[in-house]
Amino acid sequence: MNKESSYLTGSQESHVHSIVKGIDKDVERGEDILMMGLGSVMMSTFFAPIAPPPVLLPLVALTFVISSVVARMHYHKMKHKLQVSMKQINTRDQTILKPIANVFEEHPPEDLSHSFNPLKNIKRTIKSALGGVLINPFWMPIFYMMGVQIGEEKNLNFLNFAIMGVEKKITPKLTEN
């Protein structure tokens, strides 16, 4: 099986360990994508003396858009790889991995057309407008896109907690002597 389409490896470890290790690594990559976007935004202050706010602030919002879209694509890729891997293992192992699969079912990300539409996200739009009124109207799109990125981060956090729960189940408990 192609490594890109499944979490199963040819190593001697069990299928469950292989899948959990692979999806954990992918969750870390997703978090890194989001942190790279946030770090890029934080670094944008270095360009403030050079670029005027009408140029710099849309670039900041665009940075959040790009990191959110890449993280969303990565999340869908993880879901697909888990589904392919789950089809290749026995029922007992599928039961152990069910909490991770449930996260993808219980917390599906919104469609991008829904996430980026201010009329479909009234609560996020109001919060962004309030932030824009308090700070600067140019910041309204930045706050809105930051909300999209926070939504992506929440999905990865749910997945991370499910992975930790499965890891606790499959890791043998050390006995104290």
CB 67 within 8 A of CB 149: yes
pLDDT more than 90, % of the chain = 55
Q: pTM of the predicted model, to two decimals?
A: 0.87
Q: What pLDDT shows up at residue 4?
A: 66
CA distance 26 to 36: 15
Q: What pLDDT shows up at residue 164?
A: 93
pLDDT one-digit tens code per residue, 136-171:
888 899 999 999 999 999 999 999 999 999 999 887
Q: How confident is the model at residue 7 (pLDDT cuts 50, 70, 90)?
A: confident
Q: What pLDDT shows up at residue 10?
A: 67
Q: In the numeric block, which tokens belong to residue 154? A: 């929440």
Angle 43-48-54 from CA coordinates, rounded to 5°: 115
CB 78 within 8 A of CB 30: yes
Q: How confident is the model at residue 75 (pLDDT cuts 50, 70, 90)?
A: very high
Q: What pLDDT shows up at residue 142?
A: 92
Element (H, E) at 27: helix 15-43
- Answer yes or no: is pLDDT of 71 > 90: yes
Angle 37-39-42 from CA coordinates, rounded to 5°: 115
- Answer yes or no: is pLDDT of 177 > 80: no
Position 10: which residue type?
G
70 CB-side CA count, 13 A: 16
DSSP state of 47: G
User: What residues contact 135, with CB distance under 8 A and at least 6 apart?
Assistant: none
- Of these ranges, 41-45, 65-69, 108-112, the one predicted with the greatest mean pLDDT is 65-69
- Answer yes or no: is pLDDT of 175 > 50: no
Q: How confident is the model at residue 125 (pLDDT cuts 50, 70, 90)?
A: very high
pLDDT more than 70, % of the chain = 92
| Position with higher pLDDT, 35 vs 112 | 35
Place of tokens 């858009």: 65
Identify the burial level of 6 via C-beta atoms within 10 angstroms of its C-beta, where 0-12 means exposed, 13-18 middle and 19 or more buried.
buried
Greatest alpha-carbon span in the chain: 66
Q: What pLDDT shows up at residue 176?
A: 40
CA distance 90 to 28: 27
In angstroms, how far is CA 68 from the centroid of its own chain?
8
Q: What is the mean pLDDT of residues 7-12?
A: 70
